[in-house]
Structures are given as C-alpha cells and as structure tokens.
Amino acid sequence: MQRIFISSVQKEFALERAALADYLRTDPLLRRFFEPFLFEDLPALDQQASTAYLAQVASCDIYLGLFGDSYGFEDAQGVSPTEHEFNRATYLHKARLIYVKGETDQAKHPKMQALIQHASSQVVRRRFQNSANLHPAVYASLVDYLQAHELLRFTPFDASACRDATQADLSTEKIQSFLRTARSARNFPLAEDAAPHTVLTQLRLLKNETPTHAAVLLFGKEPQRFIYNSEVKCAHFHGTQRQKPIPFYQVYKGTLFELVDQAVNFVLSKINLAVGTRALSAQAPTAYEIPPEVVSEAIVNAIAHRDYTSTASVQVMLFANRLEVWNPGGLPPGMSLQSLRQPHGSYPANPLIAEPLYLAKYIERMGTGTCDMIERCITHGLPEPTFGLTDGFVTTIWRKPGLALAHVEGEIDQVTQQVTQQVTQQVTQQVAHLLAVLVGNMSRAELMAAVGLKDRGTFSENYLEPALAAGLIERTLPGSPHSPTQKYRLTAKGQNQAQISSTSQANPFPDN
C-alpha cells in the first residue's frame, strides 16, 4: 500500500482535503493501492507540530501538495508548513504531485507565487478550480504512478519486469541448452557461443536490464521463488471423481520446459502402456492408450497460455475415464470454444513465453494445436477431446485403456504382413545414410551434421520422419517428443537394417 501525504493544514483547503481523502479511500481502483494521510488524523502527541508533520512526510511514498492563494503561517525563518513539506519531500526524493488552485497567480501571496515557481522548475504541476476537476487530475496522476512502478500493468505479465530478480538469478546453462536446441529446431540466428545477455536481448526478455517474468519462468534457477504459482500440480485418482485421500499427488517446480517434461512424464507413467512380444524383432512394440503427442499438447497449452497473474496453478488430473488439464485462464477476445475445433489464428496470452517455446519446438505458432489433438485422438480410436471454461480453461482427453493393447497387436499384424511380403524392408538412400551415421544416442543437430544437412525441414522430411515411421530409430524420451534434451537411437530393427545396408554396399554384386 502506497501512503499519500496530503499537504497543507490551511483553512483554505479544509473541504478539498477532506473530500480528496474520502475519494482516495472509496474509489474502487485507488483504494487498492493508496492510503491517504491528513495531518488532522494524528492523535495528540508530545511533539512539536512542525516536527510531527515533517516526520509524516518522511514516512510517505507520495507527497501531494495543494497550493492556493494563501501562503500560510510563517515560522521564525519566515517559511510556511507547506513550503517546509515540499522541501522535505524534495530532499528525500519522494514522488511529488503538485496542484495549484486557480487559472492565474496574480492574486496569490508573493511567497506562494515564489513557491509555485520553485515547484514548477522541478515538477509538472496541474491547476484545478474545485474538487470536481481536482479528483480526475489526481486519478490520472496516480494511475501513471502505478504504471511507472509496475503496480498496474498495461503490458502482458510475461513482458513486465520481475522486480526482485536480477540476471544472476538466471541459469547460464539453461540458456545455452535452449540456444543449442533453438538453432537445431528452428534455425535460431544467434551463434552457438552467443553470450546469455545477447540471447535474452534477442528474445526481448530484459527490461532495463532487469529480467522479465518470462525470463525467470523460462531460464530461472528457481522460478517459483519469484512466481510461486507457476508450479504444476499433478494428481492421480482411481475413480472418476475428485476424492480424498488422493492416491498419488505431486507438485512439480522448475522452468516451463522442465514443468512440461515432468507433467507429461507423470501422465505417461500412469496411463496404460502395452508391450508386445519380440517374436519378430529384438525390439518389442509398444503403444500408449493416449498418444503422447496429445498429452504433451494439452499440457504445453495450459502452461504457455495460462494467466500468470492468478494465484492458482496448472492442474493435471488423471481419472479412471479421462485426463483433465486445467489452467487459470480463458480464451482470447473474439474466440469461442467452437473455434478451437477448426483452423484458427494463434493469439498467445503470453507472447514472450510462447516465442521460446516455439523455438524449442514445444509449440507451433499456427493455431493448429487443438485441431491436431482432435485428429490424433480420432485416428487413435479415442473420442474427441472436449474443451470447457470452468473457473478457467480445461481440456478433457477421454481414456480407453484397452486401446494400448489393440495398437500393439495391430502393429504386430502389420509387421507380420510386411515381413511376409518382403523379408527386408526397403529404405530410401537418405534413411540408409541416417542409419549408417547413427551411433549410440545422438541429437537432431548431431545427426544433421553427420549427414551434412543444414536445412531442418529437408532433414525431417527425408531422413528423420521416415526412419521414425518405419520403426528404424526411436526417441530416447518418447513421452517428451519436443524436449530440448531429446536424442535418437537405432531400434533392433534399425540395427538389422543398417547391417543389411552395409553388407549390400560392401558387396553390390552378390552371387546368384
């Protein structure tokens, strides 16, 4: 609460001062931030009045001066209380708001004229005639004060400065890891050895050299130390309702990237995962009852688009029949729940958070996320996800535990048919090249360098995606397909194919 000292005990302003104090205490906005003080409100004290009111000026945040025609009582030095107050506020570097009554100063006491001129040389003063135009002027000045001190924001939360944080509260390692991922995933233009300050500046994550809330959430050493509600709460219920005791409950903390990975892994560790046999391959086929990409999309959306000014946290709740992902937020103006089910524009609630998430390939910027979720669920045999507004935004993904086994059996049947038709699956020259260079666990950037490509789109279309689709390679983090630490390795099927391709190249003319 900001304390305002309303100056002058002159009888000239008795009504205006009382009315102004009452206005500040009752206005719906101003009363949330300001507490006015009138000298008359002090109880009887064994203290000189001059000492008492100057002490009150020292304890205030804002000095609000009302200058009229009268100069007021003069002490032994010939200085009035009003001028003493102004001088003390100036000396202590207090915020000063000066309002002068009347359109001209000709009728004012000479010392008041001098005081007005002195004040005008330091601050911009405003004129008023009565309380009717004094109050709007004070209101405008105080709103400007709130904005300047970031107590009232007119910019997105993620773009405003995190007042208690410094650049030392950000992790250099996390920024460097992001930079490597962004360069590989989206051709981010900065060099791999770019300084953290350069990365933050490029992403507009500094405001007057102070980290923004987005910077702390994305790269902070301890983000919840500054934005405690950014944590994600995950709960697993055996039934279809919220009931205590909760069988499993976990609160995750960390950067937004870490929160996404932790929450996705939580869900994937609880839903059904079917594992087939190794009858046809050393690598047993696996399938989740809900596609991991759908789980990831729901959680990323909740974390990226939530209202971070709310004291609530993102909640991920797994029930026997559904997965619910809730966040404190809503839809952008002009959007409806129905529009989420068709192609739509992208209107991020937190644009400075959305950009790094896009660069790390956690999200897309085309407004296709919800449509992709719907399509993947239908293709997988699940009902369409539902979206709702219940004290926030909730995404509901319906479960069918038996689907996991059905997909594994379907995968086995498909492989069996392929093997029957052709013992060795033919692969393109590009995929064969990828299999030949993949040793151990390798990142996308390492693989692109190994095959001699710089264009991410070409590599993904001709090398990576075909190899994944054919089951020749796999992700080391299947539950977090967009993780910055994602790597790839050969499956048993891929190892066999790599050996076959190698033998074929070594002996291009086998005996008939």
- C-alpha–C-alpha distance, residues 379 and 373, integer Å: 10
In the chain, CATH 3.40.50.450 sits at 2-148
Which of 36-45, 50-59, 433-442 reaches the highest mean pLDDT? Answer: 433-442
State pLDDT tens for residues 375-405.
999 988 899 999 998 788 999 999 987 777 7
pLDDT at 506: 45
Over residues 407-431, the mean pLDDT reads 52
Residue 424 has pLDDT above 50, yes or no: no
Interior CA angle at 163 toward 162 and 168, to 5°?
A: 75
Cis peptide before 383 (omega within 30 of 0): no
Q: Which residue would you say has higher pLDDT here, 512 or 393?
A: 393
Contact 190, 202 (CB under 8 A): yes
Percentages of the chain per state (helix, strand, coil), in multiples of 5: 45, 15, 40
Average of per-residue pLDDT across 345-352 = 81
Distance CA 234, CA 319 (A): 11
What is the distance between the alpha carbons of residues 4 and 27, in angstroms, rounded to a whole number? 15
Q: Give the whole-angstrom CA distance, residue 437 versus residue 75.
A: 91
Rounded Cα–Cα distance for residues 170 and 112 (Å): 52
**How does 164-190 read in b/e, with b if 16+ C-beta sit within 10 Å?**
ebeeebbbeebbbbbbbbbbbbeebee
Diameter of the chain measured on Cα atoms: 121
Q: Is a pLDDT exceeding 90 seen at residue 485?
A: no
Residue type, 328: P
Backbone φ and ψ for 332, nearest 5 degrees, come out as -60, 155
Q: Of 408, 394, 474, give the one whose Cα is nearest residue 435.
A: 474
Under the banding of pLDDT at 50, 70 and 90, the label for residue 276 is: low
The listed CATH number (3.20.20.70, 3.30.1490.20, 3.30.70.260, 3.40.50.450) that belongs to domain 2-148: 3.40.50.450
The helix or strand, by DSSP H or E, that contains position 3, with its residue range, turns out to be: strand 2-6
Cβ neighbours of 207 (radius 10 Å): 16
Residues of the chain with CATH 3.30.565.60: 229-343+359-403
pLDDT category at 309 given cuts 50, 70, 90 is confident
Ranges for all domains in the chain classified under CATH 1.10.10.10: 425-506
In the predicted structure, residue 150 carries a pLDDT above the cut 80: no
The whole-angstrom separation of Cα 416 and Cα 281 is: 10
Name which residue leads in pLDDT, 208 or 417: 208
DSSP 173: H
Rounded Cα distance, 62 and 360, in Å: 45
352, 205 contact by CB (below 8 A): yes
Q: What is the CATH number of domain 425-506?
A: 1.10.10.10
For residue 362, count other CB atoms closer than 10 A to its CB. Answer: 26
pLDDT for the residue numbered 173: 96
Please say whether the structural domain 229-343+359-403 has been given the CATH code 3.30.565.60. yes
Mean pLDDT of the residues in the chain: 85
Using the predicted structure, report yes or no on whether residue 419 has a pLDDT greater than 50: no
Specify the pLDDT at position 415.
40
**280 pLDDT higher than 60:** no
Cα distances (Å, whole numbers) of residue 151 to 1, 62, 115, 167, 205: 10, 14, 31, 21, 19
Look at residue 128 and tell me whether its pLDDT is greater than 50.
yes
Residue among 110, 147, 99, 181 nearest 357 (CA): 181
pLDDT of residue 147: 79
Residues 6+ apart with CB under 8 A from 430: 451, 462, 463, 466
Query: So what's the pLDDT on residue 409?
Result: 64
Q: Tell me the average pLDDT across 107-113.
A: 94
Nearest to 407 by CA among 376, 373, 372, 374: 376
> Once rounded to an integer, what is the mean pLDDT over residues 155-179?
92
55 pLDDT higher than 70: yes
Q: Evaluate if residue 287 carries a pLDDT over 90.
A: no
HEC readout, 61-116: CEEEEEECCCCCCCCCCCCCHHHHHHHHHHHCCCEEEEEEECCCCCCCCHHHHHHH
CA–chain centroid gap for 57, Å, is 39
Per DSSP, the three-state class of 200 is: helix
State pLDDT tens for residues 223-263: 999 999 999 999 999 899 988 888 899 999 999 999 999 99
Confidence of residue 417 (pLDDT cuts 50, 70, 90): very low
Say if strands 206-207 and 210-211 run parallel, antiparallel, or are unpaired. antiparallel
Q: What is the pLDDT of residues 7-45, one digit of tens each?
A: 865 677 888 888 999 999 999 899 999 999 987 766 554
Output the pTM of the full model: 0.57
